[in-house]
A and B are shown apart, each in its own frame.
Chain A
Amino acid sequence: MSQSVNRIHPAQRFFSAAHPLVVCLSLRFLEGDHEKLSVAVTAPDAFLVDDQSGEMHSGLSTLLLDTVMGGLVLGAIEVLQPIATTGLTTQHLRRPRRGEELLCKAHCEGIHSDMAHITGQVIAADTGEVLSTATGLFMIGTRSKPLGMRV
């Protein structure tokens, strides 16, 4: 049985929060458990790279992938704790277009020695065309105090 039936996925809670970046992206949680997470988003104008062609910058896909893959890690760990991206490799097949409906999907390949290995894709919702793919490495359990408070 999917965990999403039993509890709110931590990513779902995060995506509904008043987080400035989440507000910019307007992410819509679709489904998720400890192995996979799917999110929908309408490509926001704030990420346009070319107003005439209506193309978004590839950084939108990079942002989405890091956010959704990181969100999946929060759902994959037993005890909620801070995480950090340690590595992110992204292949961009094409840029998203203005107002395009996108799906961002992440899959947890495994967790070993406090490191989560995640793969992800950004897909055009209407055609299934793959726009970007990524692999991400996330450290589980990081320092939680702001830098300025550390001694």
Chain B
Amino acid sequence: MSRQGAGSKRETLFGSAMANWLRIEKTERENVYAMRFADHHIGNPVVRALHGGVVGAIIEMAAEMELARLQPDCAVELASSAVDYLRVTKDADLYARVDVVRVARRVAFLSVWCWQDGEDTPVAHGHCTLRLFAAETA
């Protein structure tokens, strides 16, 4: 039952290979993150739709980045995610808006809405549960 990691801080998340692979960026809105489209994000090459796992991964990464922004003295790590795929996606940029449901002392609950054409036509919604680690253990 050992636990090697103690979460990641915001700068680590943004500088990571995973962030580079996802091509995730900040936007002008603090709680909105953008995934710049790349061919390796495609799941079905016939339909040119984004891979469901890629959408899940961007939801998880955006939730971690947003919690790390709000809790700069803590390290964060995802514990679980539940994603509903609401509409078919296409080979284009994806945006993720992260809303905080509740941040407790050791755990946080965040809601993530994703869209491509417009915020009023979301393509996916995720609910994420994250662990928070105090600075001395981070």
Query: CB within 8 Å of B: which residues of A?
Result: 19-21, 23-24, 45-51, 53, 55-60, 62-67, 70, 82, 84-92, 94-95, 97, 142-148
Contacts and interface: CB of A to CB of B under 8 A. Distances in A.
B85 A55 contact: no
Contacts of A57: 16, 18, 57, 60-61
B16 A142 contact: no
Interface of B: 3-5, 8, 12-13, 16-18, 20-22, 38-49, 51-54, 56-58, 60-61, 77-85, 88, 90
B17 A90 contact: no
Nearest to B15: A51
A47 B40 CA distance: 13
Nearest to A133: B80
Most buried by A among B45, B52, B58, B83: B52
A146 B41 CA distance: 15
B16 A53 contact: no
Contacts of B39: 20
A143 B53 contact: no
Contacts of A64: 53
A59 B48 contact: no
Contact of A147 (B21, B40, B48, B82): B48
Contacts of A147: 47-48, 88, 90
Contacts of B52: 66, 70, 84-85, 88
Contact of A51 (B17, B51, B57): B17
Given A90-B56, A95-B5, A46 B17 contact: yes
B47 A63 contact: no
A19 B45 contact: yes
A25 to B, nearest CB: 9
A82 B46 CA distance: 9
B79 A63 contact: no
Contacts of B38: 20
B4 A85 contact: no
A94 to B, nearest CB: 7
A144 B42 contact: no
B3 A47 contact: no
B16 A49 contact: yes
A47 B78 CA distance: 15
Shortest 5 CB-CB distances between A and B: which pairs? A59-B57, A85-B52, A66-B53, A63-B53, A57-B18
A84 B85 contact: yes
Contact of A66 (B17, B51, B77): B51
Given A20-B40, A63-B54, A46 B88 contact: no
Contacts of B79: 91-92
